[in-house]
Amino acid sequence: MRPSLGHLDDRGLLRAHVSGEPDAFAELVRRHRDRLWAVALRTIGNTEDAADALQDALLSAYRSAGSYRGEAAVTTWLHRIVVNACVDRMRRRQARPTVPLPDDDGRAPAAPTDVIAARETALDVRAALAELPAEQRAALVLVDVQGHPVADAAEILGVAVGTVKSRCARGRARLAVKLGHLRNPDAEPDVEATEGGAR
């Protein structure tokens, strides 16, 4: 009977995987899959591409575990691989991303107006986020959506802290232009600002 791997920390699991323990990587993924999935989904914006990016990332991590240098936490290393896989997939796609509609099994729920408005707002925000350049979106997802400190996001993305701050600031500025109608729904959208927007 195999001993349990639950007592090992993340670095121990990664070392066990590199040493040939067949269940070590699965245990590492089990521990972190929910957060990694959330990062992939929020970075890419749709479940199909997020699932593909996460699969690519985990396969890459599985194969490259021997190159882990231990300079960052294992979770930071995994997050970096996931974000990079997402950015790579978005760059390859290059087509304008689509925003999937929520699954409702073909049935339209009898929802109050405020629930419908909240869903429409969420779709607007998701669509605006999807239009951001990949680097800005990745920084915003890590800092504003996932709640990572800027220093951790910088480590995950493999860039300087100032770079994360500037990407977040530029991304927030673009989102403010695209989503300004949510703050003041009676105002006419500024066509020039949305067309030529801040870069």
Identify the pLDDT of residue 62: 95
C-alpha 53/C-alpha 57 separation (Å) is 6
Please compute the mean of the pLDDT values over residues 130-148 and round it to a whole number: 89
C-alpha torsion 69→75→78→84, nearest 10 = -100
| Beta-carbon-side half-sphere exposure of residue 74 (alpha carbons within 13 Å) | 22
| pLDDT category of residue 113 using cuts at 50, 70 and 90 | low
Q: What's the pLDDT at 119?
A: 76
CB contact burial 102-124 (16+ within 10 A = b; e otherwise): eeeeeeeeeeeeeeeeeeeeeee
pLDDT for 60 beyond 60: yes
Lowest mean pLDDT among 33-37, 119-123, 131-135: 119-123
Catalogue all structural domains in the chain, each as residue range(s) with its CATH number. Answer: 8-97 (1.10.1740.10), 113-185 (1.10.10.10)
pLDDT grade for 129, boundaries at 50, 70 and 90: confident
- Quote the percentage of the chain above a pLDDT of 90: 42
Residue 37: what pLDDT? 95
Reduced to 3 states (helix: H, G, I; strand: E, B; else coil), residue 112 is coil
**Is residue 94's pLDDT more than 50?**
yes
| Residue whose C-alpha is closest to residue 176's, from 190, 157, 164, 162 | 190
21-49 pLDDT, tens digit per residue, is 999 999 999 999 999 999 999 988 889 99
List of residues 6+ apart from 99 with CB closer than 8 A: 45, 46, 123, 126, 127, 130
96, pLDDT greater than 60: no
199: confidence class by pLDDT, cuts 50, 70, 90: very low
